[in-house]
Amino acid sequence: MSFIQIEENSNFPLQNLPYGVFSTEEKPRHRIGVAIGDQVLDLSAIKHLFSGPALSKHQDVFDQPVLNDFMGLGHEAWKEARMFLQKLLLASEPTLRDNSELRRRAFVPQASTIMHLPAKIGDYTDFYSSREHATNVGIMFRGKENALMPNWLHLPVGYHGRASSVVVSGTPIQRPVGQMRPDDAKPPVFGACKLLDIELEMAFFVGPGNKLGEPIPINKAHEHIFGMVLMNDWSARDIQKWEYVPLGPFLGKSFGTTISPWVVTMEALMPFVLPNPIQVPKPLPYLCDEEPYTFDINLFVAIKGEGMSNPATICKSNFKYMYWTMKQQLAHHSINGCNLRPGDLLASGTISGPDPENFGSMLEMSWKGTKVIDLGNGHSRKFLQDGDEVIITGHCQGNGYRVGFGQCSGKVLPAISAP
């Protein structure tokens, strides 16, 4: 139990302690913090207390405006920081509890914070690792017999995304414009995207990187995975459909990707680890790993449109539905010698489960626009409208507590006028 009051359904109990970057109107400097209950613990105010063997000479990492340097310290430093913070926040620990001046400087109400991207994201990779999602999309566009491409069961398919347009929760997203070909019998047209979609995803931040030419073996991959965030990888389906052959997504994806501001560490998630899915055919040796690294994370997507008093939940899914694990994604990404760096972001791809309520995109929920998604009280959608706010939430449910991710949200703004 902590001396900070924590409600039973809080996303941020002592078992969680996620890292983020925040500022306030009074102090606009970006600072690293840890969420505890409805408070943020400013680590720059207590950096001098980190006196363990892994952190005593690296206290300056908590004075940085992003988490990259701390991410780069590695597994032992992360573990030491977590153990120290959990002890520091205990009701029985007087160091911070009884120092009223330090408490005044160190704690900030979450309600008064402005959240920022937790890291400087050098590179962003998006995978395509949900078998149900890949199958559904394949059926829609290629038919049931050719739903999965020949390579899909042999490797974690991915592509290089655009890091510059990854934004923090709460940032509005402008409807993109571009080329589309709605009628295959006619030339392409230019205009605002008409099939704007969500993609329910999660992503992880890379910790220590690897040197160019030196792959990360799968049995060491966990040492390079710092923690996870929620993600909405917004998608312009009509722009994407016209452009994606032969090189994959481009303008249909690069206009915006939203992530939640709090990075939940892998140490906080390990109590919710599950056995990995059975993979047939068995992957090649560099992708084989027996250690469980699938996680029971409940995920929800809601839409609040203009004129709606409350958001309507349109999806209930779970990260456990992923076919390829994060360790397999990381090992595959680096097997050719590609060098990863602290703060790189690797995303899961759309997370869909076996039932329609688990589908992680409106493309699937509306089955390519042939069905209506009911939002209640006379509201419905097939794809997103201007003014829609998309809200993704997620948590792991423990015995009497939850490890939550907070919120990943964004509101759709109208397209700009054509140039």
* Catalytically annotated residues: 133
Q: Identify the DSSP state of 288.
A: -
- Rounded-to-integer distance, Cα 95 and Cα 56, Å: 17
Contacts of 306 (CB under 8 A, 6+ apart): 385, 387, 388
Structure tokens at 64: 């940085």
The dihedral sign for the CA sequence 397, 400, 406, 412: positive
- Rounded-to-integer distance, Cα 174 and Cα 415, Å: 6
Residue 79 main-chain phi, psi, to 5 deg: -65, -45
**267-283 as b/e, with b when 16 or more CB fall inside 10 Å?**
bbbeebbeebeebeeeb
Spatial CA neighbour of 156 closest among 351, 337, 360, 330: 330
Return the C-alpha torsion angle 68, 69, 70, 73, nearest 10: 120
- Rounded-to-integer distance, Cα 368 and Cα 263, Å: 33
Residue 327 main-chain phi, psi, to 5 deg: -65, -40
Q: Are 49 and 102 in contact (CB under 8 A)?
A: no
3-class DSSP assignment, residue 99 = coil
Within 10 Å of residue 191's Cβ, how many Cβ atoms?
14
Structure tokens at 27: 């102090």
Q: How far are the Cα atoms of 11, 12, 403 from residue 398, in angstroms, in the given order?
A: 11, 12, 7
| Helix H or strand E encompassing 20 | strand 19-23
Start-to-end Cα distance in the chain:
58
- Rounded-to-integer distance, Cα 212 and Cα 236, Å: 34
The residue type found at 152 is W
